[in-house]
């Protein structure tokens, strides 16, 4: 079985991290062994799920579901250790002032290290990652695009040698539709949807990727438009004010849904859940994915 890799991205504040957790939970409930990966130096899920620790090495948090936190620096350190084999020499490599300076100024090297780690399973290069699926709570849209562009840029800059070879190998995997899947999370609001549409188009143009767009926090309205309109015609009352707000929101939501359908046919929506418990919220969202 090929290892699946799911990238979840979107504008900041649209709920992409919780959607990523919901997707990971759904896949794990289907019997797949899943690793949920956060990118960066700080863990959102540590606080969200009240976990004792989230670090570079995967830790199990539910049946079939583990979690890890990967940064460019930690991925580079592991890769150097894997190549050099001797821990003391790998540490010396990173503690060298010249190498630290090179790492700090080398364009896209942290992004390349992260993608190298994520794709190491399909490429069979690096320490084993014994998971059926990797769900990546990826960077927000601008940084995410830079992340995907890193391997191609490095391959063009370094034509020969191991770095050029590895960059081309990573670039090939992230374009492989049988292995990598892309999910752009947005809200039914103008700015997040516009950003999602632009990223979706960029992924099509530059990577031939047909990303899924997930409209998050759709407000479910259990009564008809006609009934809402009827309430707006009542005498002055709190119900009338609420009906006017609801009518405006429903109209706006319908317009945003129509705009999203123009962008892609690969569209899903998740309703707004009023649930404070993080695992219950994640489970409810997983049922809608």
Give me the sheet containing 180-186, strands edge to edge: 59-62, 65-70, 34-39, 133-137, 4-10, 180-186, 212-218, 267-271
Q: How confident is the model at residue 86 (pLDDT cuts 50, 70, 90)?
A: low
pLDDT tens readout for residues 124-174: 888 888 999 999 999 999 999 999 998 888 788 777 777 788 889 999 999
In the block, tokens 């990238």 appear at: 7
Q: Is the pLDDT of residue 262 over 80?
A: yes
Q: What is the mean pLDDT of residues 55-80?
A: 91
- Position 106 scores a pLDDT of 62
pLDDT tens readout for residues 2-45: 899 999 999 999 999 999 999 999 999 999 999 999 999 999 99
Q: In terms of DSSP bridges, do strands 180-186 and 133-137 run parallel, antiparallel, or are they unpaired?
A: unpaired
- Secondary element (H or E) of residue 35: strand 34-39
Chain centre distance of CA 243: 36
pTM of structure: 0.87
């Amino acid at each position: 079985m090929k290892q699946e890799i799911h990238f979840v991205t979107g504008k900041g504040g649209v709920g992409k991290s919780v959607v990523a957790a919901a997707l990971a939970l759904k896949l794990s409930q289907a019997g797949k062994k899943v690793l949920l990966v956060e990118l960066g130096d700080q863990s959102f899920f540590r606080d969200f799920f009240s976990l004792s620790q989230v670090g570079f090495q995967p830790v199990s948090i539910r049946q079939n579901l583990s979690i890890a936190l990967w940064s460019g620096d930690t991925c580079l350190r592991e890769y150097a250790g894997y190549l050099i084999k001797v821990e003391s020499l790998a540490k010396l490599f990173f503690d060298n002032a010249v190498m630290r300076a090179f790492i700090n100024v080398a364009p896209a090297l942290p992004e390349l290290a992260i993608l190298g780690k994520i794709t190491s399973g399909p490429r069979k290069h690096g320490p084993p990652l014994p998971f059926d699926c990797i769900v990546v709570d990826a960077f927000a849209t601008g940084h995410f695009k830079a992340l995907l562009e890193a391997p191609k840029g490095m391959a063009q800059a370094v034509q020969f040698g191991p770095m050029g070879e590895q960059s081309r190998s990573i670039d090939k995997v992230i374009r492989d539709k049988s292995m990598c899947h892309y999910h752009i999370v947005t809200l039914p609001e103008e700015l997040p949807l516009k950003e999602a549409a632009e990223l979706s188009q960029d992924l099509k143009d530059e990577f031939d990727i047909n990303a899924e767009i997930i409209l998050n926090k759709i407000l479910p309205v259990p009564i008809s438009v006609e009934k809402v309109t009827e309430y707006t015609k009542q005498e002055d009352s709190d119900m009338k004010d609420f009906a006017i707000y609801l009518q405006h929101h429903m109209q706006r939501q319908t317009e945003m849904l129509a705009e999203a359908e123009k962008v892609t046919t690969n569209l899903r929506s998740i309703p707004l859940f009023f649930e404070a418990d993080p695992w219950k919220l994640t489970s409810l969202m997983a049922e809608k994915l």
